[in-house]
Amino acid sequence: YKATSRDEFSFMGSLIVDEVLKDLLAQGLTKGKKLILAGSSAGGTGVLMNLDRVAYNMAQWAPNVEVRGVSDSGWFLDNKQYKPMPCLNAHSCAPVDGIKRGVELWHGQLPKRCEARHTHSERWRCYFGYRLYPTLKTPVYIVQYLFDVAQLTADNVGPPVHKE
């Protein structure tokens, strides 16, 4: 979403991905064989969100280039918080509440196959890997830690206690 006035924010992640691809194509990507779209944490979520669209575009722009994805630690869950907090600001909101509010603000480019599975008010579910993954056509490799600090924080679980 590109702001129309100076008083608004712009959210252009998918546009940035497209511009990077165009730049790579101009530098000779059409002579390549594989394109790996990779990201970590929120970038890993971005890989899942953009992968099929990138693969589709590359099939038009450079049909000989195979597209694959690697999502490292971008597999977040929409768990209920263990100790719920009131959603007063960005730091106290549960991630699900933040995503629900953000999806309207961001005007995000949701993967069409995932979006088709949900009502308009539940499109936010496409931001969570386990819901999005079954809709992907493009091969993707998922790397996720069993105890992800960001997920534990999102679930409002305190840091582990260590004996010294």
Partners of 143 in beta bridges: 72
Could you tell me if 38 and 69 are in contact, meaning their C-beta atoms sit under 8 angstroms apart? yes
Give me the residue spans of the domains in the chain: 13-152
Per-residue pLDDT of the chain (164 residues; tens, 9 = 90+): 566 777 666 667 888 999 999 999 999 999 999 999 999 988 999 999 999 999 999 999 999 999 999 999 888 777 776 666 777 776 667 778 888 888 888 878 899 999 999 999 999 999 999 999 999 999 999 998 777 666 666 666 666 555 55
Q: What is the pTM of this model?
A: 0.81
Cα–Cα distances in Å, from 79 out to 83, 117, 120?
11, 20, 21
